[in-house]
Chains A and B, each alone.
Chain A
Amino acid sequence: MDHAAPGPIYRADPPGGLVVVPLDAFTAVYHRRSGMTHLLTEPAPQILAILGEAGLSLKALLDQLAGDYDLADATASALAARLDELVAAGLVATS
């Protein structure tokens, strides 16, 4: 995946697209569109909570995460790696 500027917009499913049940350090997520269950650890649930249907660029997402949390490692590459996982699972789409 190419993350060079301007880079893709990352989108999640519309509200109601996920059923989220926090378990412990893991969160169980049922993805209604695919019928699949995923177990997420942070920062994946936090990313999904911020990304909406409208979508954000990598930069905008990173800024918003930095606004909501104290990021231990605010690097674009670390976030891109997490997003790639979410894209592969189908929980996030790019355009």
Chain B
Amino acid sequence: MRHAFALRIGPIGFRIGSDWRAPIDQLRSLYRDYPAPQDGVADYTVRLFARRPWRRWLRPSVEIGGDYMLPEAAPLPLRHGLLAAEMAMNLQMALGARRHLLLHASAVERDGRAVLMTGVSGAGKSTLATLLAARGWRFMGDEFALLDPATGLLHAFPRLISLKNAAIPAAEAAWPDARMGPLMAATPKGDIRHMVPDARAIAAMDRPATPALLLFPRYGDAAAVRPVPPAEAFVRMTQASTNYVALGEAGFTAMTRLIAQIPAVAIDYPDGASGVAQVEGLCAAL
């Protein structure tokens, strides 16, 4: 395609092609410290394209395509092109991933042991992961965590952190030196701004970790901790995985092992500081 960029995030290589220069320039800048795909061959191809030739210039509208597509994906205006690219990359992972059990979870690591945090959007898994990273944990990712069925190890997927609405000024205040993408106002998901993970997260992204704790955080209520029974944890994790069914027996074995080997805990937390304290308390007690 006219403009193209390739990169690797954790074990996964992407090639992104675009009819427009802007989204590629943004990706190139934000992902400048990331390596190229292994052997130069990307796992997934993403296409950002104009449905009709004149749509390149006239009210330019970015269609999302690639190896894997969903029929109802709606286009985004060109000013949200970076968001389109990020969504398209996530979509390839959600629909195409087979090497790892893909968990919709954030993850942080310390001393080789990983804390997995999962929940619906708004539960605060992303916020908690970035706050823990500021406390010295290694940030592994805030969107997907990759569980290797062969080894039981968790692989990092530290893509750009997608900040939404109120999280944007909060992150800008907390990490004044972080590199940020453009502020994309009024996207279908509200205001969005992407933040580059810290240098340590990128440098260590090829180092997997042993899962140690599975957390189901929920933001907003008074602090509370509840153990999650195995069957409930199992079902919630199958629903938090886009490829559990597609992996077949490998997915079943990986998931039942994960549930059997690490404690699963639901926490309610009223604010970030309390949440961090709860997580660190639980880890200290392991």
Interface residues of chain A, those whose CB is within 8 Å of chain B, are: 19, 21, 23-26, 28, 30, 32, 35-37, 39
* Contact between chains at B234 and A28 (CB < 8 Å): yes
* Contact between chains at B256 and A28 (CB < 8 Å): yes
* Contact between chains at B230 and A39 (CB < 8 Å): no
A37-B245 CB under 8 A given contacts A19-B252, A23-B259, A30-B252: yes
Q: B226-251 toward A: CB 8 Å interface, digit per residue (1/0)? A: 00011100110010000011001100
Alpha-carbon distance A16/B276, docked complex (angstroms): 45
Contacting B230 at CB < 8 Å: which of A19, A23, A37? A23
Contacts of A37 in B (CB 8 A): 238, 244-245, 252
Extra inter-chain contacts (18) besides given A21-B252, A35-B248, CB under 8 Å: A19-B252, A21-B256, A21-B260, A23-B229, A23-B230, A23-B256, A24-B229, A24-B230, A24-B231, A25-B231, A28-B234, A30-B253, A35-B245, A36-B245, A37-B238, A37-B244, A37-B252, A39-B234
* Contact between chains at A19 and B249 (CB < 8 Å): yes
* Contact between chains at B256 and A32 (CB < 8 Å): no
The 5 A-B residue pairs with the shortest CB-CB distance in the complex, in nearest-first order: A26-B231, A23-B230, A30-B252, A23-B231, A21-B256
Interface majority SS (helix, strand, loop, mixed), chain B: helix
Question: Interface size (B, Cβ < 8 Å)?
Answer: 15
Contacts of B252 in A (CB 8 A): 19, 21, 28, 30, 37
A30-B231 CB under 8 A given contacts A21-B256, A23-B259: no
Alpha-carbon distance A30/B248, docked complex (angstroms): 8
Alpha-carbon distance A36/B247, docked complex (angstroms): 10
Alpha-carbon distance A45/B231, docked complex (angstroms): 15
* Contact between chains at B231 and A32 (CB < 8 Å): no
Contacting A32 at CB < 8 Å: which of B238, B244, B249? B249
Contacts of A35 in B (CB 8 A): 245, 248-249
Q: B244-271 toward A: CB 8 Å interface, digit per residue (1/0)? A: 1100110011001001100000000000
Closest CB in chain B relative to A18 CB, distance in Å: 11
**CB-contacts of B14-60 with A (<8 A):** none
* Contact between chains at B248 and A39 (CB < 8 Å): no
Contacts of B238 in A (CB 8 A): 37
Ordered by A's residue number, 21 sampled pairs between the chains whose C-beta atoms are within 8 Å are A19-B249, A19-B252, A19-B253, A21-B256, A21-B260, A23-B230, A23-B231, A24-B230, A24-B231, A25-B231, A26-B230, A28-B256, A30-B249, A30-B252, A30-B253, A35-B245, A35-B248, A36-B245, A37-B245, A37-B252, A39-B231
